[in-house]
Amino acid sequence: MTPFYLHGVGVLGPGLHGWQAARRILGGEQMYRYEAPHEPKPDLLPQNERRRGPKTVRWTVAVAQEALQGTGFSAAEAAAVFTSSSGDGETMHQICESLARPGREVSPTRFHNSVHNAAAGYWSIASGSCRTSVTLCGHDASFAAGLLEAAGLVSAGEPAVLLVAYDLPYPQPLLSHRPIREPLAVAMLFSAQARHPALAQWRISLGAGAGNAAPSAVPPGLESNPAAQALPLLAAVARGRTETASITFTYGQQLEVESQACF
């Protein structure tokens, strides 16, 4: 497919507080140091949800806002792709606990928050975006699935596409069965045009193989988080060189991303 542009990035995870900090770490200018992530309070959310809304919503809205910041694109004009293996694990846990009790009383708010596209729904309400919104799951390959979907949307003529990849750890007892230990949310803003300043130009293709992306780009503890597949690609952007990184997709296939720096 034709190449497209990466205009903005948002990152939130342990030791990765925002793109500017993550860029220095991923680019090799600064050592990674584990630090528990601060709880984001994105100002786009109404006060009620900023404090009490689902954690997945606060995290995804925070990185989405960061990715849009300073790009020249508005939230309202961006189509959205949200991708996650787990969705809202906390809500799922609470509903399953309620269903295991005799009365089986499920909270109506929790129930509508349990849909996999809840974070995307809150994002569209908060940002006022009425455009296409796709929410996916590809288990460990969730990021690759989301990036391919985003590329498809850019290729189909969407003026701007926001990709948000996230996974937050499940509470116990589910955590033992899906051991994603550290939270991570990453957002990227893409478009087909060089109308606005870009960080890189990406060309993506599918090929046979199992992904060669340097695991060194992924800080310890984050390997098990599906959203961390984004980090080797962002490391190429941070280094400001032309590089190709490939990440594992579905059985026997990899997603190859050629990243060319834009100055």
Partner 1 sequence: MKPLTVTSFTTVNALGEGNAAILVALRGRRSGLRRNDFESASIDTWIGRVEGIESAPLPPSLSLFECRNNRLAVLGLRQDGFEQAVGRARERYGDHRIAVLIGTSTSGVRETERAYAERDAVTGALPPSYHYSETHNLFSVCEVVRRYLGLSGPSATISTACSSSAKVFASAQRLIDAGFADAAVVGGVDSLCLMTLYGFQSLGLLSREPSRPCDEARDGISIGEAAGFALLERSAAGRPGVGLIGYGESSDAYHMSAPHPEGAGAIAAMRDALARAQIGPGEVDYVNMHGTGTPANDRTEDMALHRVFGGAVTCSSTKGWTGHTLGAAGIVEAVISLLCLQEGFVPGNLNVRKVDPALKSRIAVANEERKLRHVVSNSFGFGGNNCSLVFGRLV
Applying CB under 8 A, the residues found at the interface with partner 1 are 1, 80, 85-87, 92, 95-100, 104-108, 111-118, 120-122, 124-125, 127-139, 142, 145, 148-149, 151-153, 155-156, 172-174, 176-178, 206, 208, 249-253
The nearer residue to partner 1, 31 or 108, going by C-beta atoms, is 108
The nearer residue to partner 1, 23 or 50, going by C-beta atoms, is 50
* Least distance from partner 1 to the Cβ atom of residue 119, Å: 9
* Least distance from partner 1 to the Cβ atom of residue 53, Å: 11
* Least distance from partner 1 to the Cβ atom of residue 177, Å: 4
Q: Closest Cα partner for 166 from 116, 118, 117, 227? A: 227
Q: Closest Cα partner for 144 from 81, 79, 230, 85? A: 230
238-19-198-150 Cα dihedral, nearest 10 degrees: 100
Q: Closest Cα partner for 164 from 61, 49, 39? A: 61
* Least distance from partner 1 to the Cβ atom of residue 32, Å: 28
The nearer residue to partner 1, 23 or 131, going by C-beta atoms, is 131
* Least distance from partner 1 to the Cβ atom of residue 54, Å: 11
The nearer residue to partner 1, 98 or 244, going by C-beta atoms, is 98
The nearer residue to partner 1, 176 or 216, going by C-beta atoms, is 176
CA separation for the pair 214, 233 (Å, rounded): 10
The phi, psi pair for 232, rounded to 5°, reads -60, -35
* DSSP symbol at 173: T
Q: Each residue of 187-225: b (16+ CB within 10 Å) or e?
A: bbbbbbeeeeebbbbbebeeeeeebebeeebbbeebebb
